[in-house]
A and B are shown apart, each in its own frame.
Chain A
Amino acid sequence: DQQVKQNSPSLSVQEGRISILNCDYTNSMFDYFLWYKKYPAEGPTFLISISSIKDKNEDGRFTVFLNKSAKHLSLHIVPSQPGDSAVYFCAASGVSNTGKLIFGQGTTLQVKP
């Protein structure tokens, strides 16, 4: 039962262009969403988050959009840089639970110079 889904295993974009990573969820009890970035042989690093009371959160080149009615969120990276090449995980949590994170399968982003 995959409650958080990232349907695109990989994405390739040109340096300077926009990267859009997508994530869908099924559990309407989720009220906090996060994006993590992961390099090989390292642990995930927190990137950006959004509460369900908002529909957009921006931090520098990174913006997360939340569409609650569609149970969909996306991460926009503008402009994309080669150093952004990594695996990106979407994760969800509910305040009503213990704070555990439910992760998607990940999307591998490659930014070409």
Chain B
Amino acid sequence: NAGVMQNPRHLVRRRGQEARLRCSPMKGHSHVYWYRQLPEEGLKFMVYLQKENIIDESGMPKERFSAEFPKEGPSILRIQQVVRGDSAAYFCASSSQRARETYNEQFFGPGTRLTVL
């Protein structure tokens, strides 16, 4: 059973370009979370999606960032007009749907390291 897949693993963009990060959750998982890790910091929650729905985007910057999880295909985190401050590691995690009395563990992908020149 393959784990969470993310691609590309490394992405270099110039200021003003667009970055698209992809995440394929574990088989059978329908919940996807995106986190960002800036240098020397912990992971910060960005957005939580289920198939075709954004459930919680409280951690997403208001401008330039968007996320989707279509019915078919991977989840996409899109950053428009990238700036140097967007340079970070972006991690995707997936979880299965479980009863609310048990915590639905999140499994993380290897991350995409975005560098903005």
Please judge, given known A-B contacts A93-B103, A98-B55, A100-B59, whether A43 and B42 are in contact too, CB under 8 Å: no
- B48 in the interface (beta carbon within 8 A): yes
Residue of A nearest to B108 (CB): A43
B95 and A89 form a contact (CB under 8 A): no
Residue of B nearest to A94 (CB): B103
Interface assignment of A65: CB less than 8 Å from any CB of chain B:
no
Q: What count of chain A residues pass the 8 Å CB interface test?
A: 27
* Contact (Cβ within 8 A) A99 B109: no
Find the A residue at minimum CB distance from B37. Answer: A103
In the complex, what's the smallest C-beta–C-beta distance from B54 to chain A, in angstroms? Answer: 11
Which of A44-52, A54-62, A73-81 touches B? A44-52
A residues near B (Cβ < 8 Å) are 4, 6, 32, 34, 36, 41-46, 49, 51, 89, 91, 93, 95, 97-106
